[in-house]
Amino acid sequence: MAGRVDLPPRVDGQCVFCAIAAGSQPASIVADEGDVLAFCDIQPVAPGHLLVVPREHAEGLADLLDTDGKDMFALAQRLARAVRRAVRCDGVNLFLADGAAAGQEIPHVHLHVVPRTVRDGVFRISANWSLPARADLDATAARIRSVL
């Protein structure tokens, strides 16, 4: 199996996902619902790995129109059901990286729909999990609430 290849985030000066949405770059389209579309990832971690993107450019979640976010997740939910039947997987991961620090490689919001099988072991989040005290969790919740 070939290793992962770093692909350019821009093609001919344009965001690659915007170019796909405009039809100027090839893609294996699964669904086009006007403001959002889904297509096969060209470097899938499993057969049936899809990307759901808004047609309008939004680099990160903070830039994403609320309606596009809702439409992306609604489409991803329908795709997850379809992928389970089409590729006969046991489960599906939805994964969205917001920003380079989170692992986002193409600066256009995109939601991965990744088919999974019980034994695949192909997609894991590695972390230093912690178990903070309730008071620390409450303080964090209060800080986030204060800026909502």
- Give me the active site residues, please: 110
CB 68 within 8 A of CB 24: no
Which residues share a beta bridge with 141? none
